[in-house]
Structure formats: structure tokens, C-alpha cells
Amino acid sequence: MASRAVIKTSMTDRDRMEKIVSLAKRRGFIFPGSELYGGLAGTWDYGPLGTELKTIVRNEWRRRFVLGRTDMVQIESAILMNARVWKASGHLESFTDPMVDCRQCKARFRADKIDLAAACPQCGARDFTGARPFNMMFKTFIGPVEDSAAQIYLRPETAQGMFTNFKAVLDTMRPKLPFGIAQIGKAFRNEITPGNFIFRSREFEQMEIEYFIRPADWEAQFEAWLKEMRGWIASLGLDAARVHEREVAAEDLAHYSKRTVDIDYDFPFGREELYGIAYRTDFDLGQHAQESGADLGYFDEAAKERFVPHVIEPTFGLDRTVLALLLEHYQEEGAKDGTRVVLKFPPRIAPVKVAVFPLLANKPQLVERARGIFERLQGWRRAMGEGLVAWDDRGNIGKRYFSQDEIGTPWCVTVDFQTLEDGTVTVRDRDSAEQERVAEPDLVALFEERLKA
């Protein structure tokens, strides 16, 4: 088949966002949280394809930053932590956003995210209260007594788990500086105004690294990690023209940071933070040493000196990564046979790696042969630990291709009558829409080769 004439259709930013939200729901990537009961603001459930996409992103991140290095260990700390952790880290005191209320309609807003001189976006009144700090940590109680002594918090970041386990990691694994502790896990923030789909939710996932260094090395390490982050972003296929590094001004730095660079992405709703990197000095280890009374120092054998390491923290939001991937790779192409929607994920990232079709569903020989190929390919993905194989025998082949394009499946394998004669199948490529004939035993090697590209 000749490759199709491709005309990219134009889309407004708003359209793009709406289309992504609708596609995500329709095709099983992301559903509104608790929808059966009318929803729960700021929460989202990942469906089968979204879960696979997240799994692949987590694995890629782990392969790159943990398995691919000799200076990194990974942990999983508890979401519930002793409340003193948050006293020491400064979150109890200052993990706040400024909040204003509209006196007329009672709607609440983040004071730094709306124009207070303008009308209320909800009711049009011009009657805001003054801004006051609102602590974003979710409170809960541990044990059966609901009094202030039992009050704890859901962690608002994974980072503190690395600091509170620093000594345990040091004592058990004996790493030498510089080294990092990585963690992937859920974080919770009672955002005043969640929104923009999964960009700002109340429950989300972070992939964070606390990289412990000698204080004198901080500038070089900061640059090295910024470079690592750029490499990661490029590996996701995000267009560098849409990614912007923003030096956070001294007066806007978080209480623990001496330097922060936010890595922003041009989302349809504006240029907003995707990731961040901060030089946290020895603030956290110092605070925990003081609050707990433990010695959180490191003994440098070579220099025969003991000191509290400093920290560079690259932080990556998993949900914002998923959103950027969906937005970046969503394309509509006008074709003679209708608009084709394609998620042009890099094949490594695609949740479904390959789809298998029998040309005709009512020919048992074709179905049986295709089923065998489907199962063998599934065995291949099972061994890899990620990436789905789809089966489709509905409608005509054209419709099946369109359906796979929409979820970003890089290759479709069709078993036809020629397969029964010579053992070859057609492999159709998502991006070029070209088909080639491949001998069935060569399929896995072909896909592995292309996944490396």
C-alpha cells in the first residue's frame, strides 16, 4: 500500500486538551476518579492503557537512573510518617499556598493563580477576601483515638522518605559519596484548585532522587543532573522547543533551596512546571538530625572528616509526564479515508507494542494461525515485563488500523491467506502506514530491533 498523503489538521490549544481528555477516557487511559458516585475532585483513575503507560515510564526511569548507574539505590518508604518528620522538614510551618475566597459565591482560589484586581472567575463579583496561607497537607488520624496527638499527614512529597532513611541506607549499603537514593511513589496535596486534567491533582505520583554530595561539588553536580534531566526529556520524544528551563528567582525559592531550576513545558493551558531540580543544601539532613537527635553525618575515609552531605534533588512528576506524552504525540492527519488520529509515541513508550489481526474473523484457519502468533508475541512481552499485545478481529482491517493508531500501537500484524501458504504476515507501520511482509519467526527480532531505534 502506498503511504498516505498526510495533512496535519490545525487545532486550538483548547481543542487539543479536550480531545486528549476524551480520548484518554474513551480508550481506557484515564478515567475521572469515583465517577460512579459523581466523581471526586482532583482524583483520576488510570485504566488498562494508562496503567501500562505509567508502568513503562516508571521502568524507563528506573532503568536509566537506578539500574543504569552504580551510584544509586532505590527505596519505598511509607506514605504515613511520624508527624515530626513534617515539623523538621518545615512542611507544617510553610507548605502553604495563599488562598482567597470570593465573598459572594464562596469559591476559593489560589491567590497567586488569579488576578485579584479582576472579577471572580466563578460569579463575576469583585469581592475577594485577603489572602491567607492554606496548608496543603492532608490530615488523618492514626489509631482509634482522633485527637491531636494521633494526627498525622499523607506525605506531600516522596523526598522526606529518602532523608529519614539516609542513615539506614548508609549503614546497610555502605555507599560512598556522591550517591543517590531514588523513590517512585504517591504524594498527596490538598490543592485549592486542582485542574487541567492530571496536571494538578490531589493524589499523584512522583519519581524523585536525592543525590548526596560534598558541599564543594554542588554547582558541578547541579549542572550534571540538569543534563541528565534533558537526556530523559529527549528520550520521551518531547520537542525541545516546548521545554524551557526557568531559573527560580531568589525571592521565590522554597525555604530549603539555594538554587532551583523549574523545567516548564508548553501545555495547552500555558507554560507550566513539568519537573524541577533543586539544591537543598544540608537543610533536610540537618533538620532531621536536630529534631531526632540522630547523627546524620557521613565519614569521609580519604579526608578523615565527618560532615553532613549536601543534596541535589531532581524531581519528576509521573502524571505530568503522562500528560506531556499524550499532548506531544497526539496528531490528527487528514487522509482520503477520513481523519486519522495517531498517538506517535516513541515505540519504547507505547503501551500496546503490537496488535495481531486475522484478515477475516470467519475463517477458522486464519483465526487459529493469528491466535498462535498473538500468544507467542504475548510470551515475548511477558518476558520483557511490560508492553501489551492487542487482538482485534472486529470490522475491517482499515478500522482496526485506525483504532490502533489512536492508542499509539507502533505495529499491526495481519494474518492473511498468503500466511497459510508461505508463513509470512504483513507488518504495518503506524507512522508511515507502509506494509511489509515478514516471515513469522522473524517478528520478534524485527520488533526488538525497531524498539532500540
The region of 6-14, 198-206, 239-247, 434-442 touching ligand ATP under the rule CB under 6 A is: 198-206
Residue 412: CB partners within 8 Å, gap ≥ 6? 354, 355, 356, 357, 400, 401, 404, 427, 428, 430
Binding mask 176-195 for ligand ATP (x = CB under 6 A): -------------x-x----
The region of 12-20, 63-71, 317-325, 423-431 touching ligand ATP under the rule CB under 6 A is: 317-325
Task: Give the long-range contacts of residues 220-229, CB within 8 A, separation 24 or more.
Answer: 221/178, 221/312, 222/259, 222/277, 222/279, 222/312, 225/277, 225/312, 225/314, 226/261, 226/277, 228/65, 228/314, 229/263, 229/275, 229/277, 229/314, 229/316
Q: Are 66 and 182 in contact (CB under 8 A)?
A: yes
Figure out which of the listed residues 273, 386, 406, 440 binds ligand ATP, where binding follows CB under 6 A.
Answer: 273
Q: Are 390 and 409 in contact (CB under 8 A)?
A: yes
**Alpha-carbon separation of residue 4 from 354, 355, 397, 430, 431 (angstroms):** 21, 20, 16, 11, 10
Q: Is residue 319 near ligand ATP by the rule CB under 6 A?
A: yes
Binding mask 203-222 for ligand ATP (x = CB under 6 A): -x-x----------------
Q: Is residue 29 near ligand ATP by the rule CB under 6 A?
A: no
Closest residue to ligand ATP in the complex (CB): 317
CB of 331 to ligand ATP, least distance (A): 24
Q: Are 388 and 353 in contact (CB under 8 A)?
A: yes
Looking at the Cβ atoms of 160 and 164, the one nearer to ligand ATP is 160
Residue count, binding to ligand ATP (CB under 6 A): 14
Q: Strand, helix or coil at 394?
A: coil
Q: Are 200 and 274 in contact (CB under 8 A)?
A: no
Figure out which of the listed residues 276, 314, 351, 408 binds ligand ATP, where binding follows CB under 6 A.
Answer: 276
Q: Is residue 317 near ligand ATP by the rule CB under 6 A?
A: yes
Figure out which of the listed residues 77, 135, 257, 315 binds ligand ATP, where binding follows CB under 6 A.
Answer: 315
Looking at the Cβ atoms of 77 and 419, the one nearer to ligand ATP is 77
Q: What are the DSSP calls for 400-452, one per residue?
A: HHHHHHHHT--EEEEE-HHHHHHSEEEEEETTT--EEEEEGGGHHHHHHHHHH
The region of 85-93, 284-292, 313-321, 401-409 touching ligand ATP under the rule CB under 6 A is: 313-321
Please give the radius of gyration of the chain, using alpha carbons only, rounded to the nearest integer.
25
Q: Strand, helix or coil at 158?
A: coil
The region of 199-207, 296-304, 359-367, 393-401 touching ligand ATP under the rule CB under 6 A is: 199-207
Q: Is residue 419 near ligand ATP by the rule CB under 6 A?
A: no
Looking at the Cβ atoms of 92 and 335, the one nearer to ligand ATP is 92
Q: Strand, helix or coil at 326?
A: helix
Looking at the Cβ atoms of 167 and 200, the one nearer to ligand ATP is 200
Q: Is residue 200 near ligand ATP by the rule CB under 6 A?
A: yes
Length of the chain: 453
CB of 107 to ligand ATP, least distance (A): 19
Q: Is residue 275 near ligand ATP by the rule CB under 6 A?
A: yes
CB of 178 to ligand ATP, least distance (A): 22
Phi/psi at 46 (5° precision): -90, 125
Rounded-to-integer distance, Cα 193 and Cα 50, Å: 24
Task: Tell me the helix, strand and coil percentages in the chain, rounded to 5.
Answer: 35, 30, 35
Figure out which of the listed residues 320, 369, 400, 430 binds ligand ATP, where binding follows CB under 6 A.
Answer: 320
CB of 249 to ligand ATP, least distance (A): 14
Q: Which residues bind ligand ATP (CB under 6 A)?
A: 189, 191, 200-201, 204, 206, 273-276, 315, 317, 319-320
